[in-house]
Amino acid sequence: MQYIIDSADTKAIRRCIEFFPVAGVTTNPTIISREKADFKALIAEIRSIIGPDRMLHIQTTSDVAEDIVKEAEELKKIAGGDFYIKIPVSAEGLKAISILKGKGIKVTATAIFTQQQAMLAALAGADYVAPYINRLDNIVSDGVHVVEEIVELFKKHSISCKVLAASFKNVEQVHKVAMVGCPAVTINPELFDQLIYHPLTLYAVDAFTADWEMVYGDKKILDLLGE
Ligand code: E4P
């Protein structure tokens, strides 16, 4: 399973890369705008933090196929490394996906809310489809169930496109999409910390430390081995 950072905050990305097993970064126009930064410099900085081998997904701001294709080609040059253009599902978007497929540029079809949007994007040539879990939950449409059915459809029809679930607000949503076989999730940096947080873990570690210190004081194993 792939865990991806849904952020353009370079400080947060740097920290996630240092501590978590991260497969890449996804952005969208909202996430990029939040940084109020020079666009090209921001993309270059994100790439230098994550290195060439991790995925970098950047969303198009155009809505006509030919412009999306041009944007993707230019963005690929700036982003370098393992680059994906994110394209919202629309008729123009599907056309752009199939043109880009022919040009060898990898695509993530985004803003997916239904199983059939995912199917058509996959058949057009998308490498990933990104259904929006929390936004589906907010309209009582069961984001996890939508992901489950997309995963099942791709399996039944031998489609190699992968599901990259997006728009998460809590750990339970992430866990449930993992349980239905979703191969990739993109989550905000705060959620990475929530995924490993448990008060009983902190309690257990405090108890181990207290027991150890009763006998060895503040010396660590490395101090003892060096004596
Ligand atoms: C990622 O690809 C999506 O753009 C993003 O996860 C949407 O998340 P939101 O619903 O929290 O804005």
Q: Which of 107, 132, 146, 147 to mutate to test the pocket of ligand 1 (most atoms within 8 A of CB)?
A: 132
Would you say the CB of residue 167 lies under 6 angstroms from ligand 1? yes
**Token couple for 69:** 């294709």
Per-residue pLDDT of 88-112, as tens digits, reads 999 999 999 999 999 999 999 999 9
| Backbone phi, psi, residue 4, to 5° | -120, 145
Are 98 and 68 within 8 A, CB to CB? no
Per-residue pLDDT of 183-202, as tens digits, reads 999 999 999 999 999 999 99
Task: Answer yes or no: is pLDDT of 17 > 90.
Answer: yes
Per-residue pLDDT of 159-171, as tens digits, reads 999 999 999 999 9
Q: Which of 25, 137, 167 to mutate to test the pocket of ligand 1 (most atoms within 8 A of CB)?
A: 167
Would you say the CB of residue 27 lies under 6 angstroms from ligand 1? no
- Please report, to the nearest 10 degrees, the dihedral formed by the alpha carbons of residues 192, 195, 196, 199 taken in order: 130
Domain extents for the chain?
2-196, 198-227
Per-residue pLDDT of 109-150, as tens digits, reads 999 999 999 999 999 999 999 999 999 999 999 999 999 999
What is the architecture of the domain spanning 2-196?
A: Alpha-Beta Barrel (3.20)
**pLDDT at residue 227, as a whole number:** 83
Which of 9, 1, 54 is closest to 31 using CA atoms? Answer: 9
Are 54 and 83 within 8 A, CB to CB? no
Would you say the CB of residue 134 lies under 6 angstroms from ligand 1? yes
The amino acid at residue 4 is: I
Q: In what helix (H) or strand (E) does residue 3 lie, and over which residues does it extend?
A: strand 2-6
Q: Is 101 a catalytic residue?
A: no
Per-residue pLDDT of 25-53, as tens digits, reads 999 999 999 999 999 999 999 999 999 99
Q: How far apart are CA 170 and CA 151, in angstroms?
A: 21
